[in-house]
Chains A and B, each alone.
Chain A
Amino acid sequence: MTFQEILQRLAVEFSSEVIVDANTEARDPWIEVAPAHVETVGRFLKSDPSLRFDSLCDLTGVDYFEPDAKLAGKFPYEPHLEVVYHLQSIQFKHRLTMKARLPRWKDDVEGQLPEIPTVSKVWAIADWHEREAFDLMGIRFIGHPNLVRILCVEDWVGHPLRKDYAFPLEYHGVRGR
């Protein structure tokens, strides 16, 4: 199926409150889903007989933020966080990029991690990918069975892939920089 056909199929099923936006011009055309509905949409994308997105290639977060005030004026994006789902259908061999837009901090309170429902009940692999996104990007996946750090050690502070992450000066007596 082409992206347009996928989009039409989704438009029949979901309102514009669920599928918030779509970009057909991008190199990888994407749809944007309201964060509260990612699990519902994900389940539909996986189970619909004409779509069958049974394989979650990648789930990751992107921090759209420029920490340098001098460069922030030229930065082409609004500061926000995105969770990106790259889907693929083994049967039909088509691909889809699904996004969900989150604030950088929950309720704009710095340190409060933004929240989004987990899709680990839809695709089993999302379990580990979400742990990684939590670990490195600081996104809380609501309903995740075991949301603990996966690459960094348990007592690591902060989420390293955030653009405003400050590298620790020391860790258990080991100099950081």
Chain B
Amino acid sequence: MTTQLQDPRVIEFDVRTDEMLVNMGPQHPSTHGVLRLLLRTDGEVVHEVTPHIGYLHRCAEKIGENLAGPQWIPYTDRMDYLAAMNMNLGAALAFEKLIGMEVPEKAMVVRLIVSELGRIASHLVAMGAYGLDLGSFSPFLYAFREREIVLDLFEEVCGARLTCSYFTIGGATHDFPKLIQIPDGLAALTGIQPGTTMSWLEVTSILMDWIEKRIEEYHILLTHNAIFIQRTAGLGVLSAEMAIDYGCTGPVLRGSGVDFDLRRDGEPIYTRMYEGYQYNVVVAPFTGMKKIPPEVQVGDNWSRFFVRMVEVLESIELVRQGIAKYPTAAGEHRIPYKMTAKLPVDEAYLETEAPRGQMGFYLVGDGQAEPLRARAKSSCFCNLSVTGPLCEGVLIADVPAIVGSLDIVMGEIDR
């Protein structure tokens, strides 16, 4: 068949733009683990995003129904593996709420110091990985340099670096070590003689001073980088109403301008850990802060990112106050809890402020040592659910920028 230019089919063929389905993931490097995003695209424009999750589902809740509380704690490590300490804290507190246990002051100070260190380590990864998502490699290396030393400190305190299982029902498994060798990484960075021994708290305090100064450098490297601002400011704007409706929590919620932090607004069993400490809840718009780019809108990628950066500074302040409180804190670092102790016929739900949002644990006891139901409500699960509406109408290249700004960890989403 001969075709002529007047033939309408030919013209239609030449200009037709079909919608295309594109799979992003599950092994795409910028999806932070095994997340598959199904994109319906029209050229470069994304019309619809459907997240597919479950690749890392390990039946953590079913396992929890067959284990006593202290035995389940190691499984919570493997949920949000970048903030294992904070996950341990949430689970331990939920069990304590269920059995009506109150931990001594010293245990609370230990928990505060270590969980805020966990927040710092987690936010450093979030910062580095977000730079990586947007094609900037070096911040990632610097972030991991600092995080490495935090992990060294975790290793000194509990023996593990990533899956700590440090907090347990009744407090923490160990007290802080009296004398440790300064981690080689920190010695090299600060010029202190390698092999010098000092107390764990002194090392922590040196590390806090070191990280605090580095945050300024990260701002130069990333936060106020012109390319970074263009990729993030004014993009992926999440309104406060939508954030609340989609159950977004943590830095995502505060980046949308909602002043809500469980460390201040949570339940008494959790907030009493933070009583007497001075810290600010970081909320967009960042009034009174210097050098906020004019393109920034409340609820955009940049705001979510910046909340985490400032929260690192707040956590450093909290750790310092904890270090000052530790020597005078009363009681032990742990009160014993028997593995065979029966849980009451009752239920308890408790949310704590993990680095990625409000991590909830729901436990139902039936008179056995093992709970009838052990539920872990993931904050990233809720934060990820907003991806669909947030990515409508953006360019394909902006999808990783938006997903990355939500700072998800698939281990926690899939459990």
Contact = CB atoms under 8 A, between A and B. Distances in A.
A125 B244 CA distance: 9
A35 interface: no
Contacts, number: 89
Contacts of A26: 346-347
B246 A125 contact: yes
B373 to A, nearest CB: 5
Contact of A123 (B245, B367, B377): B245
Contact of A76 (B97, B367, B373): B367
Contact of B385 (A76, A128, A151): A128
Nearest to A54: B244
A125 B62 contact: no
A93 interface: yes
Contacts of B98: 27
Nearest to A97: B349
B288 to A, nearest CB: 23
B62 A151 contact: no
Interface residues of B, number: 39
Interface string A119-150: 00001110110000000100000000000011
Nearest to B100: A27
Contact of B372 (A64, A90, A151): A64
B54 A152 contact: yes
Contacts of B244: 54-55, 90
Interface in B347-363: 347-349, 351, 358, 360, 362
A54 B360 CA distance: 17
B360 A90 contact: no
B115 to A, nearest CB: 20
Interface string A142-177: 000000011111000000110000000000000000
A83 interface: no
B414 interface: yes
Contacts of B61: 136, 161
Nearest to B245: A124
A97 to B, nearest CB: 7
A150 B55 CA distance: 10
B246 A58 contact: no
B94 to A, nearest CB: 11
B348 A77 contact: no
A161 B385 contact: no
Contacts of B260: 90
B399 interface: no
Contacts of A125: 245-247, 382, 385
B367 A74 contact: yes
Contacts of B375: 58, 60
Contact of B364 (A62, A74, A88, A160): A62
Contacts of A95: 267
Given A27-B98, A150-B53, A57 B62 contact: no
- Choose among A56, A64, A97, A124 the residue with the greatest number of B CB atoms under 10 Å from its CB: A124
A86 B267 CA distance: 13
B381 interface: yes
B349 A28 contact: yes
B217 interface: no
Interface residues of A, number: 36
Interface string B337-351: 000000001111101
B375 to A, nearest CB: 5
B258 interface: yes
A57 B247 contact: yes
Contacts of A62: 364, 372-373
A27 B360 CA distance: 16
Contact of B362 (A76, A86, A152, A161): A86
B370 to A, nearest CB: 12
B332 interface: no
B219 interface: no
Interface string A41-71: 0000000000000111110101110000000
B381 A128 contact: yes
A14 interface: no
B102 to A, nearest CB: 14
A113 interface: no
A104 to B, nearest CB: 14
A57 B245 contact: no
A77 to B, nearest CB: 7
A77 B366 contact: yes
Given A76-B345, A77-B366, A124 B372 contact: no
A60 B362 contact: yes
Interface string A84-126: 1010101001010100000000000000000000000001110
Name the 8 nearest CB pairs between A and B, nearest first: A125-B247, A151-B54, A58-B377, A124-B245, A151-B57, A128-B385, A62-B373, A76-B345
Given A151-B54, A161-B62, 16 more contacts: A26-B346, A26-B347, A57-B349, A57-B351, A57-B377, A60-B362, A60-B377, A77-B345, A123-B247, A124-B245, A124-B246, A125-B246, A125-B382, A127-B385, A150-B54, A151-B53
22 contacts: A26-B346, A27-B346, A27-B348, A54-B245, A55-B247, A57-B358, A58-B377, A60-B373, A62-B373, A74-B367, A76-B366, A86-B360, A90-B244, A90-B258, A90-B260, A123-B247, A124-B246, A149-B54, A151-B53, A152-B54, A160-B59, A161-B61
